[in-house]
């Protein structure tokens, strides 16, 4: 399996690795539907009062959340009052395998933030800094509509199934997503795997 993907792995810059076509939407999209049936997608508000243009949900032991109180991880979904759905085995295996192929062996995600981008939605430049262990990388999986992912001084065009892993010297790099263009599919989904807790 390693040889199959070797030619599709590209180092963008120190600490940023792109794995083209690594994820299979046919496996992952039904699992997203299952998660959203328990913890529905919602439009969250950032501390400044603006609504995010993406709709979000989470799975795993911790879910990322934002409101007037600030950015944080929660073990209970504030919308449902119940724990977030468990992270599917296929999600966890994908994240661990992608991280290892990018050179980050031992990644153990406990959170997966799922962002749903309708055409026109975007993600402003930001740094993932609500986690406790910055030695663990971020694994970002792109499904559905294409997108342009910006990280540090690089712009990466992403297609369905592409995975970006960033860590080490790039772990605290600013990154974001340009407005998503309309296309043949209704949405772009992004799975962001992190180690949030101890």
Check: CB of residue 136 under 8 Å from CB of residue 129. Answer: no
Count of C-beta atoms within a 10 Å radius of residue 197: 14
Is 162 annotated as belonging to a binding site?
no
- pLDDT at position 9, please? 95
Rounded to two decimals, what is the model's pTM? 0.95
d(CA 148, CA 160): 12
Q: How many residues does the chain have?
A: 198
* C-alpha pair distances (Å), 164 with each of 80, 126, 142, 167: 31, 16, 8, 10
pLDDT in tens, the chain (198 residues): 344 555 699 999 999 999 999 999 999 999 999 999 999 999 999 998 899 999 999 999 999 999 999 999 999 999 999 999 999 999 999 999 999 999 999 999 999 999 999 999 999 999 999 999 999 999 999 999 999 999 999 999 999 999 999 999 999 999 999 999 999 999 999 999 999 998
- pLDDT at position 55, please? 98
Is 175 annotated as belonging to a binding site?
yes
CA atoms within 13 A of residue 76's CA, in its CB half-sphere: 5
Chain-centroid distance, C-alpha 22: 14
Is 33 annotated as belonging to a binding site?
no
């Amino acid at each position: 399996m390693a040889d199959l993907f070797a030619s599709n792995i590209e180092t963008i810059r120190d600490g940023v690795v792109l794995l083209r076509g690594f994820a299979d939407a046919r496996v992952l999209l039904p699992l997203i539907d299952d998660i959203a049936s328990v913890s529905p997608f919602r439009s969250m508000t950032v501390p400044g009062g603006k609504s995010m243009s993406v709709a979000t949900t989470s799975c795993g032991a911790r879910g990322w959340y934002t409101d007037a109180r600030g950015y944080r991880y929660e073990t209970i979904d504030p919308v449902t009052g119940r724990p977030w759905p468990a992270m599917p085995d296929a999600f966890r295996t994908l994240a661990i395998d992608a991280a290892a192929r990018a050179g980050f062996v031992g990644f153990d995600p406990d959170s997966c933030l799922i962002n749903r981008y309708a055409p026109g939605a975007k993600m402003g430049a930001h740094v993932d800094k609500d986690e406790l262990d910055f030695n663990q990388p971020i694994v970002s999986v792109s499904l559905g509509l294409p997108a342009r992912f910006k990280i540090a001084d690089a712009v990466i065009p992403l297609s369905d199934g592409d995975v970006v892993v960033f860590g080490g010297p790039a772990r605290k790099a600013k990154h974001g997503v340009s407005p998503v263009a309309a296309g043949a599919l209704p949405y772009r989904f992004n799975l962001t795997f992190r180690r949030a807790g101890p």
